């Protein structure tokens, strides 16, 4: 999430903006550092697990990912395919933190997906 997305115009209160800035300065701790150091092992472990294909999945993808990551589109398509026949994806125009600024689009995509699987 970019601090530039955290504005009163995007629905945040001044207190929420201030609290989030304070919180962000305290997120580096031993657990986070260990998680970062274990990233490759954790990714390899997760990639070795077969996802149950009968579970419906809606994967929401930030458009920023597609622009910033080499072969981002292919990476996402490959991941959705790996999740099985009941998985689909939808692009949301925004950054990694789109869940904080695109609530309506997320709601609409989720509602449409749930109606399809119901």
| DSSP for residue 37 | H
Q: Give the number of other CB atoms < 10 A from CB of residue 97.
A: 15
Domain ranges of the chain: 1-49, 52-118
| Start-to-end C-alpha separation, the chain | 32
| pLDDT for the residue 81 | 92
| pLDDT for the residue 4 | 61
| pLDDT for the residue 57 | 96
Per-10-residue mean pLDDT, the chain, length 118: 65 83 76 90 91 93 84 89 93 85 92 92
Q: How far apart are CA 84 and CA 115, in angstroms?
A: 19
């Amino acid at each position: 999430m970019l601090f530039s997305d955290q504005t009163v115009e995007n629905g945040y209160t001044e207190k929420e903006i201030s609290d989030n800035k304070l919180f962000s300065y305290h997120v580096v701790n031993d657990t986070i550092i260990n998680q970062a150091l274990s990233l490759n092992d954790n990714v390899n472990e997760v990639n070795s697990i077969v996802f149950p294909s009968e579970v419906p999945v809606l994967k929401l993808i930030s458009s920023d990912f597609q622009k910033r990551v080499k072969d981002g589109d292919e990476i996402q398509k490959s991941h959705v395919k790996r999740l099985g026949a009941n998985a689909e994806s939808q692009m949301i125009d925004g950054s990694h933190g789109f869940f904080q600024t695109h609530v309506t689009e997320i709601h609409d995509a989720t509602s449409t997906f749930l109606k399809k699987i119901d």
